Each structure stands twice: as structure tokens, then as C-alpha cells.
Amino acid sequence: MTRATDLDESRTGRYWEVDLLRGIAVVMMIAFHALYDLDFFSSQDLVDVHSGVWSLFAKATASIFLLLVGVSLNISSARARFRGEDRFFRYFRRGVGIFSWGMAITLSTMLLLGEGFVVFGVLHLIGISIILSYPFLNRGHLDLFLGSVAIFIGLLICQFSFKYPWFLWLGLVPRHFYSVDYFPLLPWFGVVLVGISLGNFLYPDGARKVRLPDPSTRPPAKQICSIGRNSLAIYLIHQPILIILMQLFGIVEVGKGLVLHMP
């Protein structure tokens, strides 16, 4: 049973295990993107990131991120309710902010890459998911059911191609479509809904259901938690840093894939 003092503390602090898992996902993301850059920019076929184990690795990384988005939404919703805040406008502002970063990435990749630029990437997805999540908070098993349905539909429609690109954001992909970062609402919003359901189970009313020992003050957990707390900033800067480092060390020829489109 959770004591009142524990409940009050849980509504004001961060959960180290959420930061730790998010930090692990960030490290996985950086590792995958390093391999992706090798494949994209190198003139040699060093690694295939589009199939096999590395494709599964990428999907696992994204799934961890999006599950944690759902868990965090459940926790923040409970805390906002406890403080009497307007949750809708809180989520709307947060969602619009993250979606705006996604649009900045769309513009930059459109200018630098041309073909394959980011149309609806992971930041677009997270921004829209935060806004769409509001009616689904605190729905218990309904979130799990709806999330599972969304995942099933997404996996089903990805086997088909469609004539027009207007519903790319939903998951209806035209033939020959290619993007370096593509996360449509179906199936990925379903993963967020499953995360909300998981958060409702593990953190009812925003409080951790089970007490855990806290290793977050000792390395390497301390460093990984710090990474998890700064995941958005790291996401925004890690690719330019990776590409610059690879170019400095002569690992890749960036000019192979980089095309600057002047207005």
C-alpha cells in the first residue's frame, strides 16, 4: 500500500526507471543512426539497416520511446489533475511545440536531402499523439484494446499502396514512397495508447505502484538517466554531430547523399 507521503513525493519528482529506460532507448537510437548514416552516405555496402536484425532493432527502439511517451502522459495527467491544472491546453501546447520541431526537421531535410526528406517523422507523431491522447487518458483496459486495434490496422494497411499521398500521416502510403524517418499514426499511435494503459497500471494516480530501490545516483545509471531526461535535445543535435564526426574521420563522404536545394 502506498503511503500518503510517498504519494505526495511521487507527484512532484521524476521516476528514475522511466528516465533510465528512455536513456537506454536514446543510446540505442544513436547506435542505430550511426549505422544508418554509414549505410546512407558510404559508397560501400557496409551494413543493411533496412531489413533483418537491424530493422527489428530500430522498431524495438521506437517502441520503447513511444511506450514511455504513453506512460509519461498518464503520469503527467494524474499530476495535473492533482494540481487542478487544465490538462487539455497543457497537452495542446506541448504537442504543438514538439510537432513544430518535427516541421523544422521536415524543412531542413527537404533542403539538405531532397529525395527522402522527413514527411511525418517521430517528432510529428509524438506531437500529434500528445494532443490526441487527451480523450484516452485514464481509460484503463480500453486504451490497451484501442491501441492493439490501431497496431493491427497499421500492420495491415502497410501491406498495400495507395494512389494519393494525402493520408501519409495516417499510414496510407503511395507506391514508391520513401522517407528517412516515417512514423504514421497507424500503427504507432497504438503503441502510445498501449503505453498509456501500461502507465495507468504501473502508476495509478501518478504514483508508483511498487517500491523500487533507487540506483540512479550511481554510475552508469546516473549518466543514462541524465540522457533520458534530455532526450529531445539529444535527438535534435545527435545526427549533425554524428555526420560531422564521420566526415572528420573520413568514414563517410557526406556529399554522396547531401543535396542542397536553393530556393
Residue 18 within any structural domain of the chain: yes
Average pLDDT of the segment spanning 32-39: 89
Question: For residue 15, how many other CB atoms are within 10 A of its CB?
Answer: 21
Percent of residues, the chain, with pLDDT higher than 90: 60
Residue 261 within any structural domain of the chain: no
Domain span holding position 177: 4-256
Residue 109 within any structural domain of the chain: yes
Residue 263 within any structural domain of the chain: no
Residue 200 within any structural domain of the chain: yes
pLDDT number for residue 83: 77
Q: Are 31 and 158 in contact (CB under 8 A)?
A: no
Question: For residue 157, how many other CB atoms are within 10 A of its CB?
Answer: 18
| pLDDT tier at 4, thresholds 50, 70, 90 | very low
pLDDT tens digits, residue range 170-202? 999 998 898 999 999 999 999 999 999 999 999
Query: What mean pLDDT is reported for the chain?
Result: 87
Report CA dihedral (93, 222, 56, 37) to the nearest 10 degrees: 80
For residues 246 and 225, give the distance between their C-alpha atoms in angstroms, rounded to a whole number. 27
pLDDT tens digits, residue range 23-34? 999 999 999 999
Q: Are 35 and 235 in contact (CB under 8 A)?
A: no
C-alpha cell at 126: 509524438
Q: Are 29 and 234 in contact (CB under 8 A)?
A: no
Query: 260 vs 203, which has greater pLDDT?
Result: 203
Residue 76 within any structural domain of the chain: yes
pLDDT number for residue 10: 52
Residue 28 within any structural domain of the chain: yes
Total domains in the fold of the chain: 1
Average pLDDT of the segment spanning 253-263: 45
pLDDT tens digits, residue range 112-158? 888 889 999 999 999 999 999 999 988 888 999 999 999 999 999 99
pLDDT tens digits, residue range 86-123? 778 888 999 999 999 999 999 999 998 888 899 999 99
Query: 223 vs 42, which has greater pLDDT?
Result: 223
| pLDDT tier at 252, thresholds 50, 70, 90 | low
